Chains A and B, each alone.
Chain A
Amino acid sequence: MKRRIFSLELILALVALVGIMAVGVGQAMGEGDEDGGKIIFTKPVKAVVFDHANHLAQGLDCESCHDEIFQMETGSAEAGDDFTMASLYEGKYCGACHDGETAFASNTRCTVCHIGVKGYNKETSTGTEEKKGHE
């Protein structure tokens, strides 16, 4: 009897652990994904989207940006104080390509990358709003 309870606890703990890991991976914007998935930056403003798939489809590969322009580690760009539009205009970060020649200039078409608070909520919600609507 005691043994059974123990094994039940073990199974529960395992399930919980897997769940936590899955959530953790999800927050890290798909670390396990081959292409890095979608990155959503929230600093310095909420929120900017970077979709790896879009950029790979343009013929870029990992080495195009990593590790010279962007480090692979999640959050490393946001950690810097110079991750601003002013830096982009100087050719840093996204501005390396988004200069008006290689890709559209950083000071144009703002909302292509800036998805805002609304976009952030859409990207991070797990369909809870839809459920509410049906109740």
Chain B
Amino acid sequence: MKISNLERQKNEGPDALPSEERRKFLKFGLGVTGVFLGGSVLSLTSTRNALGEMGPVPPAGKFPYEPHYSMVIRQNRCIDCERCKEACVRTNNVPSFGYRTTILELEKDLGRGEKERVFMPVLCNHCNRPPCVRVCPTSATYKDKTNGIVMMNQKKCIGCKTCMAACPYNARYFDERKGIRAVDKCNFCFDTRISKGESKTACAAACPAQARIFGDLTDYSSELYKLVHAPEKVVWVLRPETGALPNVFYMND
């Protein structure tokens, strides 16, 4: 190995190194020094096995997933009846001090003294590059390898709330109730509905105006796919500048 070659290599920087990678690296170090993998404390013999622990660094985002769950919000249809919120609370045991989805309100100035009310439903965007997953020190929050849903493993959560600070969408809350005491969030009703064969999340099913369309972005026949790819429609995401590549798409129809 030539030092001069190494010097010419680009610094990866901290952006490309998620917590999980750091943990793997530390494990690798412990493996080299023989604390793990059956070596004695001073041995350096088990490096080959230790290297196996390291694994290749995965690309920044491996997508699409299959199924690639996402949601389209037809914003102009939302009338803030909040049936989605009620359904979510009922389905997912959401405490009164938190929310998994909520409705934001803004007033658009149309000029000539006219104003327009706009209701904007928000929820976890299940980003392809989730900032919350990147910062979690215990891997308690993770991106599901098959369907891409950003999940919580509450047993691992230490309640540091770093993920809450990292989330660009304010989609997480700390469930401080006794026996839980962990961060919680929307998981597209995976445990309560989708894994049980339901085709819609509780919020999408409760919406009287079909403002929320849930589906699989890789399923060409799904309504969601057709909406997102309708050539005459403008589709946008919230806070694209964060580079999180969200999976909740907004449009007016």
Contacts and interface: CB of A to CB of B under 8 A. Distances in A.
Contacts of B80: 114-119
B118 A117 contact: no
Given A45-B81, A110-B76, A116 B119 contact: yes
Nearest to A116: B80
B118 A116 contact: no
A46 B81 contact: yes
B108 to A, nearest CB: 10
B248 to A, nearest CB: 20
A76 interface: no
B116 interface: yes
Nearest to A117: B82
Interface string A23-45: 00000000000000000000011
Interface of A: 44-47, 109-112, 114-119
A42 to B, nearest CB: 10
B18 to A, nearest CB: 38
A111 B76 CA distance: 8
A100 B82 CA distance: 27
B161 to A, nearest CB: 26
B81 A115 contact: no
Q: Which of A46, A47, A117 has the most CB of B within 10 A?
A: A117
Given A45-B208, A110-B76, A117 B116 contact: no
Contacts of B232: none
Q: Which of B80, B103, B208 has the most CB of A within 10 A?
A: B80
Q: How large is the interface on B (under 10, 10 to 19, 20 to 34, 35 or more residues)?
A: 10 to 19
B77 interface: yes
A45 B209 CA distance: 11
Contacts of A110: 76-77, 79, 209
5 contacts: A111-B76, A111-B119, A116-B119, A118-B80, A119-B80
A44 B119 CA distance: 19
Given A45-B83, A110-B77, 17 more contacts: A45-B79, A46-B81, A46-B82, A111-B76, A111-B119, A112-B116, A114-B79, A115-B117, A116-B79, A116-B103, A116-B105, A117-B80, A117-B82, A118-B80, A118-B103, A119-B80, A119-B117
A111 B82 contact: no
- Name the 8 nearest CB pairs between A and B, nearest first: A116-B80, A114-B79, A111-B117, A45-B81, A117-B82, A118-B105, A46-B81, A110-B79
Contacts of A45: 79, 81, 83, 208
Contacts of A44: 208
B81 A117 contact: yes
Contacts of A115: 80, 117
A46 B80 CA distance: 8
